[in-house]
């Protein structure tokens, strides 16, 4: 296998098994914005980061082998680099290997790999797009979110659209077929906010109702509970966070790393209140950690902390934080994102952007490749709103083996023990859907998809072809189940080892 092909295979294989959340495009809350930071947005992908200032300038940094930075190359950068200078931008969202952005005119653009349709450029265009591609020209949008390998968007009319990987029903279309162009989901036209996780998706409509699909939910949107006072949601790898309009924080799903923040490592199948205070106003989830800001600007974090992504100065296998801990109390924070695979970004009320966590591909944007366990300065907006990188951008080649992400050997993380649990659970369901039931359902689909007849035995070539088709059908039908099982085991294992 050629080196580049091997890199792509390893990257895709690791992403398929481990995945990574990429949560909603983050825009600083209005009440925390200074005049010169208005409309600034930012987001973290697996190994790259994006930011937009109030002048509509788009900046990107980190890993770029699949064109996810959008600068027309596949060369990464260790510090912020201006992207798409001919356009003005208003929002960004970073997926695993692709990126999504909105222009100030509401136009939607995507770039990066279209392997699973996440760029939305069509089934006959599954390559890498190194520069922004206009999606559904003429239509305007008000919200975007890039998941691992799928994308969600809300149109100006309040319609919900989705495209990309659909292995777990995360598109909400009622099937498990990847979509290479945007498709409308459901008939509602009152969607307010969305969050695309690794294998499931969340949304809140204008009535304050919480909806979910994919993963262990149905493959079409289903309402979670009966409450109608939800305001924000964030879908992580195997866990979820949500805020009510009253400032109450709820979490549910997998808790192997304490990412739910309740002080335990016990999973929760339904939204469970975390911390009894009612002054939370901003949340975000990552692979195994979570971030939240209180109304006074204080930042808290919890969960998986192997690379310092929690930001409290600690890191390593013993640094997991099952309860919220204060992060950089000297700053007052306006907005944060935890959606990087192992890194976090945060904007303070002075308009300064900070980053912390894993940094071997420059995803922190501080012109280094050293991990940081506390927030470090990335760029600042001056009074004129000009984005100012710390220094000139450093670059590194993207095709050398040493420049590809290293996927670590797995080590057991205590105290979590392997157990079969749902990452997201229905609320108010009469009966729980168990892992055994899911397995039987997948097997039933396998039986339906596999060809039931063979060609005449006299034609050995045809028999061989049909056997290959049968094998391919079985593998295609059972692969999602296999990968999902591996993810369930893998998420409960520490992957905090020496880098390969």
DSSP state of 478: H
Question: DSSP alpha helices (H): ranges in 127-282?
Answer: none
Rounded average pLDDT over 289-308: 97
Domain contains 331: yes
Give the model's pLDDT for residue 142: 97
- Report the C-alpha gap between 24 and 32 in whole angstroms: 18
Give the model's pLDDT for residue 125: 87
- Report the C-alpha gap between 357 and 313 in whole angstroms: 10
If you search the block for the tokens 């930075």, which residue do you land on? 69
Backbone angles phi, psi at 471, to 5 degrees: -60, -40
Which token pair is 349?
Answer: 């009320």
Rounded average pLDDT over 72-77: 98
- Report the C-alpha gap between 396 and 2 in whole angstroms: 21
Identify which has the larger pLDDT, 230 or 498: 230
Domain contains 477: no
Which token pair is 484?
Answer: 């999902």
Picking from 167, 260, 162, 257, the residue whose alpha carbon sits closest to that of residue 211 is 162
Give the model's pLDDT for residue 340: 83
Number of domains present in the structure of the chain: 1
CA dihedral 182, 187, 189, 195 (to 10 degrees): -50
Which token pair is 228?
Answer: 């109608």
Domain contains 444: no
Give the model's pLDDT for residue 96: 97
Domain contains 171: yes
Which token pair is 222?
Answer: 């289903």
Domain contains 240: yes
Core vs surface per residue 456-487: b (16+ CB within 10 A) or e: eeeeeeeeeeeeeeeeeeeeebbebbebbeeb
Domain contains 193: yes
**Is the pLDDT assigned to residue 305 strictly greater than 50?**
yes
Give percent of the chain above pLDDT 70: 68
Domain of 235? 3-412
- Report the C-alpha gap between 474 and 496 in whole angstroms: 34
Question: Which CATH number goes with the domain that contains 354?
Answer: 2.130.10.30
**Is the pLDDT assigned to residue 186 strictly greater than 50?**
yes
The sign of the CA dihedral 472, 478, 484, 487 is negative
Are 122 and 55 within 8 A, CB to CB?
no
pLDDT tens per residue across span 52-70: 988 899 999 999 999 999 9
Collapse the DSSP code of 194 into the 3-class scheme (helix H, G, I; strand E, B; otherwise coil) and give the result.
strand
- Residue 86 pLDDT level (bands cut at 50, 70, 90): confident
Q: Chain-wide mean pLDDT for the chain?
A: 79
Which token pair is 324?
Answer: 């919220």
Radius of gyration of the chain (CA): 22
Which token pair is 427?
Answer: 């609320």
Are 386 and 358 within 8 A, CB to CB?
no
pTM above 0.85, yes or no: no
Domain contains 475: no
Give the model's pLDDT for residue 414: 36
Domain contains 443: no
């Amino acid at each position: 296998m050629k080196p580049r092909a091997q890199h792509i295979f390893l990257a895709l294989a690791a992403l398929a098994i481990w995945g990574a959340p990429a949560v909603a495009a983050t825009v600083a809350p209005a009440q925390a914005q200074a005049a010169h930071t208005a409309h600034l947005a930012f987001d973290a992908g697996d190994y790259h980061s994006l930011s937009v200032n109030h002048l509509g300038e788009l900046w990107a940094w980190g890993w770029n082998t699949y064109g996810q930075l959008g600068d027309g190359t596949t060369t990464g950068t260790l510090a912020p680099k201006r992207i798409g200078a001919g356009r003005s931008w208003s929002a960004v969202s970073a997926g695993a290997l692709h990126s999504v952005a909105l222009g100030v005119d509401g136009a939607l653009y995507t770039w990066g790999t279209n392997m699973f349709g996440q760029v939305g450029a069509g089934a006959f265009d599954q390559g890498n797009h190194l520069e922004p591609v206009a999606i559904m020209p003429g239509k305007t949008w008000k919200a975007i979110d890039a998941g691992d390998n799928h994308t969600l968007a809300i149109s100006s009319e309040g319609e919900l659209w989705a495209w990309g990987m659909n292995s777990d029903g995360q598109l909400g279309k009622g099937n498990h077929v990847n979509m290479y162009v945007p498709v409308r989901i459901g008939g509602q036209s009152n969607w307010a906010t969305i969050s695309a996780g690794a294998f499931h998706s969340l949304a809140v409509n204008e009535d304050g109702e919480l909806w979910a699909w994919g993963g262990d939910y149905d493959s079409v949107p289903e309402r979670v509970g009966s409450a109608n006072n939800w305001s924000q949601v964030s879908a992580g790898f195997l866990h979820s966070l949500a805020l009510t309009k009253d400032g109450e924080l709820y979490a549910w799903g997998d808790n192997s790393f304490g990412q739910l923040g309740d002080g335990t490592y016990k999973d929760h199948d339904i939204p469970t209140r975390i911390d009894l205070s009612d002054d939370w106003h901003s949340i975000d989830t990552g692979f195994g950690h979570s971030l939240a800001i209180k109304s006074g600007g204080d930042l808290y974090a919890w969960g998986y902390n192997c690379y310092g992504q929690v930001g409290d100065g600690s890191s390593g296998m013993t640094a997991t934080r099952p309860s919220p801990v204060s992060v950089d109390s000297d700053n007052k924070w306006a907005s944060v994102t935890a959606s990087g695979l192992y890194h976090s970004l945060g904007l303070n009320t002075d308009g300064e952007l900070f980053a912390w966590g894993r940094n071997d591909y420059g995803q922190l944007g501080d012109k280094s490749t050293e991990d940081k366990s506390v927030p470090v300065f990335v760029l600042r907006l001056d009074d004129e709103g000009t984005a100012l990188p710390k220094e000139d951008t450093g670059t590194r080649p993207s095709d050398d083996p040493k420049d590809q992400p290293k996927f670590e050997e797995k080590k057991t993380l205590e105290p979590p023990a392997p157990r079969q649990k749902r990452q997201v659970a229905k609320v108010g369901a009469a009966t729980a859907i168990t892992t055994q039931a899911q397995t039987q359902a997948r097997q039933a689909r396998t039986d339906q998809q596999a060809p039931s007849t063979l060609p005449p035995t006299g034609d050995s070539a045809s028999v061989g072809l049909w056997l290959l088709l049968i094998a391919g059908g079985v593998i295609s039908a059972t692969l999602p189940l296999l990968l999902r099982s591996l993810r369930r085991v893998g998420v409960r294992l520490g992957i905090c080892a020496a880098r390969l």
